Structure 1
Amino acid sequence: MQKLTVLGTGVLGSQIILQAAYHGKDVVAYDLSDEILAKLPERWEYLRPLYLRDLPDATDERIDAAIARIRATSDLADALSDADLVIEAVPERIDIKRDTWAKVGAAAPEKTIFATNSSTLLPSDMADATGRPHRFLALHFANEVWRNNTGEVMGHAGTDADAFEAVAQFADEIGMVPIRVKKEQPGYVLNSLLVPLLDAAAKLYVRGVADVETIDLTWRRATGAPLGPFQIFDVVGMQTPYNLNKDSDDPEKREFAEILKRDYIDQGRLGRGTGHGFYDYA
């Protein structure tokens, strides 16, 4: 699959776009307005030094060639017109995702395979909205895709085996290690392991048991992990944990969401991508 369309150009969407282009794919970047898309060059220049720092084969020339393979549009029909694969990275709300996929299913060519990058929702939660559930599955990326290079491939009971394998092959072709998830599981493999850690850290903080730095230090020193949970929150960005916790039945999770909104999001401290989160970054 050579021609990729990515729906949503936020933190993770833009990473998927550049990663695929870096590995030679022709990529269409879609978002709702030209004003949003006009910010993409800034995103490429933010990612450039990270690629140069972390990848031994990265050069300015290769990154320039990748950027040249990216085309941006706010016209959905245009974005989908020749797509082999569509990856959706829109906000983590089922109503937004189902509405997006209904529009995509009505406009995409018959050949197109559909993949959601949802972190928390199951493919079966939205597959029917496409009108082509047999061509629908999940391809889940970890943040900082050029470094944490796994692509979790997870279908639902109605996903065609050939579509599943085509997406696993695509993940391999863009530098990911394909993780074939054999059965639908909320959180895939990665988040099934990671989310309980982050929830536990948030509750320790809300309860006043320890401060951010102490919680992170404890986890790093005791396990040998490179990052503590609040450093991981900074990589993920504040908006995702806020959205996941603000309407929780658990009062401590709601309180954590309120802290994120008041002390971080409203202060422009959105995570490592903006230079400021729980920590400050050069």
Structure 2
Amino acid sequence: MKQSWNPPKNYRDRPVVILGAGVLGRRIGCIWASAGFNVRFRDPSAQQRDDGLAYVQENAASYAKHTGKSIGTAQAFESMEDALTDAWLVIEAVPEKIQIKIDTFAQLDALAPNDCILASNSSSYKSCEMLEKVSESAKRRILNMHYYMPPQCMVVELMTDGYTEEGIFPFLVELCKEGNTLPFVARKQSTGFIFNRLWAAVKRETLSILAEGVSVPEEIDTLWTEMFIKGRSTPCTMMDQVGLDTVAFIESHYAQERGLSSKNTVDYLNENYINHGKLGTKSSLGGLYAASKTKTTNHFGEPRLVVLDIGLSAASPSMSSGSVIEISTNGEHKEVLAENQSLPDGVGIDPCTGRVFWTNMGVPGKNDGSVVAFDRESKTLETIVPHGTINTPKQLALDTQSKKIYFCDREGLAVYRCNFDGSQLEKIVEAGNPTDINEATDATNWCVGIAVAPTLGKFYWTQKGPSKGNQGRIFSANISLPEGQSPASRKDIECIIDSLPEPIDLEIDQDSGLMYWTDRGEIPFGNSLNRMRLDQDGRPLVTESIKKHEVLTRQFNEAIGLKLDVKNNAVYVTDLGGTIYRCDLDGGHKSVLYSEEFAAFTGITMS
């Protein structure tokens, strides 16, 4: 009977050894030091050893900003035997020559502790090619562990040598996350792992286009930027959107014209997807991605809205009487998803998993806000951005392609984003200094509403100003923080409209270039739903026939949340008076969808 694998004993107190203190080796060591582990470099070059230690000393603090750990120690050794004493993990980053790697693993088998995990950072060779001189028992502890170029790229890929104990992979995945890296496990041995195979295909086809004279480098790079960087397109999602039957038809034509095999393209799609009715997003059965839970109807029998009740109008109001409700779009069916929330304000749903994310403001000014995630299948609630990290998180927006959550922090005077699991939390706009009493109490610095437009390469947010003060503004900035600039000093921030009564929530229809927002300020322009057309650069489109913005409809009771349903020509709006409204995209046919006497609604989203 096969024995279960156990992690190395006392691994938290034992060192991580990096063989090679060169450009990549020292960065790998810095990652593990930032995760709180003691690191040892082994390199025969005194200069490399000194440079490796200097890199960790100079950079570990910046790495550790994203791990929250106390930095571990770093040492350097010339002797392999001394470096390996009591190691629990060894990562070789020696020159990419197979014989050197074979000999290195033979040394590791002989000198490293017998429970030590032995990893190769090689991207050129599979670790199975390095086993010639190692024992059978060592083969079960060897794998590939390939890093790219941290801190710019924090991806690490793990792959078996064909013998690796299965339990090693989830163990290392969790520890890699502690070091703020994003781990991926190749499910089979593959030369080039995952990303390098993608890159190899792109590289080959790019060179073929150039060699055949079809295009030039400048045009290729511009097309890539527009389609995949600004557009935030990803391969599998894009194929599902195009339709797998269409993808198969196109690939069939390529195969015939170029004399290519159809085994891994057309035949694969037909056998695994198309013949089973799985055509992509146009199919209820899904495609490469499983059918989205949020694209199906629920037990109500129709599409649904998820709405936040802040709780301050409850029969017995408190700072933790907020709730999250699910309601049908005809307003007839309601279900409570979560209760006892601390002033919930902004909400979004991941269309791939159906997880619901929302912000809890907490007590304004107490720095006890949070972001939570709710799984509707298991009914489990997880705090992904904990208390003590942010101040008063407000409206929330999801970039589903990059798997990022964007949200504003009102009293924190900032805009943040993080991954869907709460990792890599980063401040991307600093509108003021929250520790300065004058700046902190200046409502013109308060960030509230948020929208992301990947096709424009921008995000937008509101700074609402004092209550009904006509000092509200909407800003934009690039999704990518300009190199060398900070959230407080970034020079790409633009104020695209000002002198608004009190703008709150934002949403953009990227296909039409229309931005919508709610305003809870004074009439005639406040307590309204508004719209503005953006040009191709994401700025207001103003012509003789087009005003900078238009008020679509009014007469809300402190308008807060909004959600566009472009497909059905609808906008849903909430207000603090406890009402959910529906109107057309042009503001017409406004009606009350749902109203509750003891409710005060904030954020809203839909499947």
The aligned runs of 1:219-230 (5 Å cut-off) are 219-224=224-229
Q: How does 1:195-234 map to 2 (within 5 A)?
A: 195-201=200-206, 213-224=218-229
Q: Work out which structure has the larger RCO, using CA pairs closer than 8 Å and 6 or more positions apart in sequence.
A: 1
Q: Provide the aligned length of Structure 1 versus Structure 2.
A: 220
CA contact (8 A) 1:137 1:164 kept: no
Q: What RMSD, in angstroms, separates the aligned Cα atoms of the two structures?
A: 3.1
Mapping for residues 32-181 of structure 1, pairs under 5 Å = 32-44=44-56, 47=59, 51=62, 57=66, 66=71, 69-131=73-135, 132-144=138-150, 146-181=151-186
Deviation at 1:14, TM superposition (A): 1.1
Q: 1:85 to 1:48 in 2, by over 3 A?
A: closer
**What is the one-letter code of the residue matched to 2:224?**
W
What is the aligned partner in structure 2 of residue 20 from structure 1? Answer: 32
| Contact persistence 2:67–2:178 (CA under 8 A) | no
In structure 2, how many angstroms separate the alpha carbons of the residues matched to 1:32 and 1:48?
A: 23
Instruction: Give % identity.
Output: 27
Structure 1, unpaired ranges of 5+: 227-280
One-letter amino acid of the counterpart of residue 184, structure 1: Q
> By percentage of residues, which structure has more strand?
2
Aligned-partner residue type, residue 95 of structure 2: P
Aligned residues of 2:30 and 2:60 also touching (Cα < 8 A): no
SS of residue paired to 2:41: strand
- Of 168, 187, 190, 1:185 maps to 190
CA contact (8 A) 1:127 1:137 kept: no
2: CA distance between counterparts of 1:213 and 1:148?
A: 24
1-side partners of 2:58 and 2:220: how far apart?
29
**Number of the residue aligned with 1:4:** 16
**C-alpha separation in 1, matches of 2:230 and 2:203:** 14
Question: CA offsets, 1:11-55, max 9 Å, x none?
Answer: 211111001101101110111221221222553477579x47xx8
Task: Label 1:69 to 1:42 Cα distance change in 2 as closer, same or farther (>3 A).
Answer: closer
Normalised TM-score (structure 2):
0.33
SS in 1 for 2:118: strand
2-side partners of 1:12 and 1:28: how far apart?
14
State the alpha-carbon separation in 2 of the partners of residues 79 and 96 from structure 1: 18
Structure ID, larger Rg: 2
* Contact 2:66–2:180 (Cα < 8 Å) also in 1: no
> Which range moved further: 2-11 or 126-135?
126-135
- Is the Cα–Cα contact under 8 Å of residues 8 and 88 in structure 1 kept in the other structure? yes
Aligned residue number for residue 265 of structure 2: none
TM-score by length of 1: 0.67
Point out where structure 2 has 5 or more consecutive residues left out of the alignment. 1-10, 232-482, 485-607
Offset, 1:103:
1.4
Deviation at 1:152, TM superposition (A): 1.6
Q: Which amino acid aligns with 2:115?
A: K
Quote the residue 2:335 is aligned against: none
- Indicate the larger mover: 173-182 or 132-141: 173-182
Structure-2 separation of matches of 1:179 and 1:196: 19
Greater share of helix: 1
In 2, Cα distance between equivalents of 1:205 and 1:30: 43
In structure 1, how many angstroms separate the alpha carbons of the residues matched to 2:198 and 2:50? Answer: 36
**SS, match of residue 109 in structure 2:** helix
